[in-house]
Structure 1
Amino acid sequence: MVRAETAPRARHLRYTLWAFTVEGNNSVGALAGAARRDPSRGWQRLDVTAAARRWTAGGARGPLRLLLDCSGCLGRVRLRLGGGQAARPLLRLRLAPPPQRRRRSLDCDAASRGSCCRQTFYVSFRALGWDDWIVAPEGYYANYCRGACAPFQNYHAQVVEAARLERAACCAPVRFSALSLIYFGADANIIKRDLPEMVVEECDCP
């Protein structure tokens, strides 16, 4: 994404943004992506997926450098390539996470039937209609806990434990993680914020 500021007299100006890769000797490389102006936004989106894939396939030995050009701008469009953090170009990459080994009792699809476990639950920002102000991610796995806790060996032990905790043991989250959110703030500035305890990572019977 790049912020394009159009002069007041050129609000209806039509133009196309182009992105090219830059080689090591500063020569222009292959076309990385293009996008026609979206008049509803100051921030313009360019899809550079193909260039990013070529970069990673080559081992990502050096930085991915892109050159922006504008057809039809006629000197009346300013591309913000520097300045304050909120106005700088933003490159968003979606990477496949490496497989992780988890305890079999963590997720409900691997846990004993009916026992306390973590149920995966995906929240789609597009389905909520929030994708017009949330840049990334498109959604996230919030997850929740469900299932029963193992019963105590006898009724006396259950009463004593419940009195000590002032509540009965129940399946509940015991570990969370944060969610990194990138969104449009005031004056169409881009803001990144880490929201704590948004993802349920593990459930147990505390």
Structure 2
Amino acid sequence: MPTEPTDMLIAAAEALAAPLPQTPSGTVLVGYGTEEELIRYAVTPGWAVHVPGHPGEVRQVVADAMAREGRAYVHVSARANSAAHALTGGFELVREGLDGVVIAVGPTLDPVLRATVGTDLAVLYTATIRPFDEVGLRTAVLAAHHADVVLVEPCRPGASASYVAQTLVHVPHRLLALGGAESMGEEEIARAVRDFVR
């Protein structure tokens, strides 16, 4: 069951209200459900951009960002995954597969996992889109039989498409960018993925 949106906001408020670290803290901005704002920071150099998919991840990314120097934008979604994941700042391999790679960003993970049941697709998860984990993506794509990549983000299509293209510039590949995934149902995602992969 998805977590109520208020749980995501409460998690952000609690993390922001926590005592500041003794070392210099970073600048942290939190936005709620504002795709335009997410896109703006995603294309602005010098910002780390996080899209946590669970209240536990919200607390972690806010606390980590406040403990570091630099600037971070945290996008809090109206949806949440059923479970938190340990965040490393890069891609986590959630499901193995050889027919291609699906990237699920933040709260799109649960719908993506349901939409790809029965396929032989690798599913990568991340709550951090900037910096972009080039090594993690390249490793997963080279391990697959087909260099087919499906990018599922909770914002307009293609927000991270250029980063995928740059990462795989020397790897012949195909890319399907799905956006607005907060309003897309798993059946729509499943249909798009099924029509795309070989």
Shorter-normalised TM range: under 0.3
Instruction: Give 1 or 2: higher helix fraction.
Output: 2
TM-score normalized with structure 1 length: 0.25
Which of the pair has the greater relative contact order for Cα pairs under 8 Å at 6+ separation? 2
What TM-score comes out, normalization by structure 2 length? 0.25
Bigger proportion of residues as strand: 1
Task: Please tell me whether Structure 1 or Structure 2 has the larger radius of gyration of its CA atoms.
Answer: 1
